[in-house]
Amino acid sequence: MHPAYSVIVFTTFSGAGYGLLVCLALFGMTGGIEAERWLGITGFTLALTMITGGLLSSALHLGHPERAWRALSQWRSSWLSREGVLALATYLPALLLATNWIVFEEIEGAGYLFAMMTIVFSVLTVISTGMIYASLRTIRAWFNPHTVRVYLSFSLWTGALWFNLLAHLFGVHTPWVGVFMVVAGVLALFFKRKYWIFIDTHPVWVPPESALGLEGAGPVRQIAPPNTQENYVQKEMGYRIARKHMYSLRRTAFFGYFLIPWGVALLTIESEPVLRYAGAFVAVFAGMVGALVERWLFFAEAKHTANLYYGAESS
Amino acid sequence: MTMLPPENAGKKLGLVIDLDTCVGCHACAVNCKEWNTGGHSAPLPDDNPFGADASGVWFNRVHTYECGEDGNSRTVHFPRSCLHCENAACVAVCPTGASYKREEDGIVLVNEDICIGCKLCSWACPYGAREYDYDAGVMKKCTLCIDRIYNENLDEEDRVPACVSTCPANARHFGDLGDPNSDVSRLVAERGGVAPMEELGYKPVNRYLPPRPRRAGDDGGPQALQPVSPPDGSAADGLFRWIDRILSR
């Protein structure tokens, strides 16, 4: 599949934004971190900016951005529609929780409800994002249970990296933030490894013979394509990535999204303030770059069944 | 509404394409483009048509394959267009309701006035049947010539999709595949019509008729020519040889 930068940026940044919201809500309501005013102001602003920026980025890649509101109507059948509805719905508890946090500097009473709702809606939104891809039977690399797990764990992990940075900056870091980060990182590593193992061991979905409905009549080989220049389907669905590039990019993604941020953030967690800030910042930067590379690969590695008509050997 | 209509035993209009007789002339694709660039989804973009980098929307494209191996292969031309699936994923994934399947005849259409151009429907189509119009910012697809088949300004015999009306090999048939007694349904039953990628579960309405098996002793190669009437030494035979000599001078 053609890796569209708007969608890659959207899913990565809005994922991190929802992850950060979950961290704020979870730590705020459990007292895992002090509900300090400036942490609240910066944290919620950052999270909602990443989410809103991501939503705008994805709306801009539409053929008709001015009609984007129509995408909220088909939530009964469409995961894309559900994602839009849930993304908008999340603003309400998130803003209420932010107000509660910033005004009272503690989460109790109705605040618990806002925090719970923020967590639930954030998680449901990220699940919907994953399901947009995981529901497409046409793409073997996406139509599997690993896709949603990867989207969820990456959202939590990148959000935790941002949360770790903010906790250091506002001097309210607790060991629980570190524990949470370690676990989220391991989850992201684990689910992405499982994902890559799955797509490497399940490459064949549909053979070209079936695409023509001519199974049993011998192997099918393309002689002449229908058009001399690439058409829309070939450009959109026919993106191919060289195998050697794929593995080097997977390594890059692994270092970026997991090893560097996980290692640096952990090593510097108890060090001097400047080193702590620098470590947490490097961890966020590497984590986001790694997540972008991972998301790019998610598209580039995915093969669509329509390619079978244009000479692909399996899809 | 992008909820699929409830499954019924009603009308399922579609195409039956005979891969045995299709000669791969692309006339169906050309006539489709010709009609539809003035039809329901008009205009179909046609950028730089005579240049080095031509591009545009076509609802119907004809692929050519070699099928089989070891000197026992054959050429198969495969015209590919929307199969108007009963379980149309392109309709279900549409976030706006622009993609819809008509309850009365099963035709899958796009309402271009509310399409936001997110392209998700084209990702959901296993057959690559939908093509994005970059000029209009909306998705386009085969309409089964909805503006011909119900068009009372046309003569009765012309109320078929443009691709069907133009096929010089009579390889394309149009009709109601929901009616087991229709001509197209009988044809499918008789010739063992198939649906491509049936295992994916989209339940296409269109059917393809597989190439007929070769006749016994036919290996697909050229046959030695047999004289129409072998010489038998008769007087008439001598006369014809004499005429042949005269004419060959």
Q: Which residues pair with B75 in a beta bridge?
A: B66
Tell whether the model's pLDDT for residue B9 goes beyond 70: no
pLDDT (tens digit per residue) in B155-208: 999 999 999 999 999 999 999 999 999 999 999 999 999 999 999 999 999 999
Tell me: pLDDT of B90 over 70.
Answer: yes
Examine the pLDDT at B1 and tell me if it is beyond 60. no
Residue A74 in contact with partner chain B when CB distance is under 8 A:
yes
Interface test with B, best of A136, A138, A143, A227 (most B CBs within 10 A): A138
- Interface contact flag, B72 A210, Cβ < 8 Å: no
pLDDT grade, residue B24 (50/70/90)?
A: very high
Q: How many helices (H) and strands (E) does chain A have?
A: 11, 1
Q: Using one digit for the tens of pLDDT, what is the confidence trace for A21-69?
A: 999 999 999 999 999 999 999 999 999 999 999 999 888 889 999 999 9
Contacts of A119 (CB under 8 A, 6+ apart): A21, A22, A25, A26
Report DSSP state, residue B38.
T
Mutate to test the interface with B, among A11, A57, A77 (most CBs of B within 10 A): A77
**Residue B138 · residue B148 · CB < 8 Å:** no
| Adjacent-strand bridge partners of B65 | A222, B76
Query: What is the H or E stretch that residue B139 is in?
Result: strand B138-140
What pLDDT band is residue B238 in, cutting at 50, 70 and 90? confident
Closest alpha carbon within chain A to B78: A212
Query: Coil, helix or strand for A106?
Result: coil
* Residue ranges in chain A modelled with pLDDT below 50: none
Give the Cα separation of B56 and B241 in Å (integer): 61
Q: Is 90 exceeded by the pLDDT of residue B233? A: no
**A63 and B CB contact within 8 Å:** yes
A225 prior amide bond cis, ω within 30:
no
What pLDDT does residue B220 have? 65
Contact A218 B136 (CB under 8 A): no
Which has the closest alpha carbon to B136: B42, B6, B58, B210? B42
- Where is pLDDT greater, at A94 or B69? A94
- Percent of chain B's residues with pLDDT above 90: 78
- Specify whether the CB–CB gap between A24 and A47 falls below 8 A: yes
pLDDT tens-digit map of A90-133:
999 999 999 999 999 989 889 999 999 999 999 999 999 999 99
- For A81, half-sphere exposure in the C-beta direction (CA atoms, 13 angstrom radius) is 22
A218 contacts chain B (CB < 8 A): yes
Amino acid A270: pLDDT? 84
Cβ-defined contact of A137 to B197 (cutoff 8 Å): no
- Rounded distance between C-alpha atoms, residue B120 and residue A132, angstroms: 9
Give chain B's mean pLDDT. 92
Whether the pLDDT of residue B219 is over 80: the answer is no
Confidence of residue B232 (pLDDT cuts 50, 70, 90): confident
pTM: 0.91
**When comparing pLDDT for A203 and B25, which is higher?**
B25
Does the structure show a pLDDT above 70 at B130? yes
Q: Residue B187: what pLDDT?
A: 98
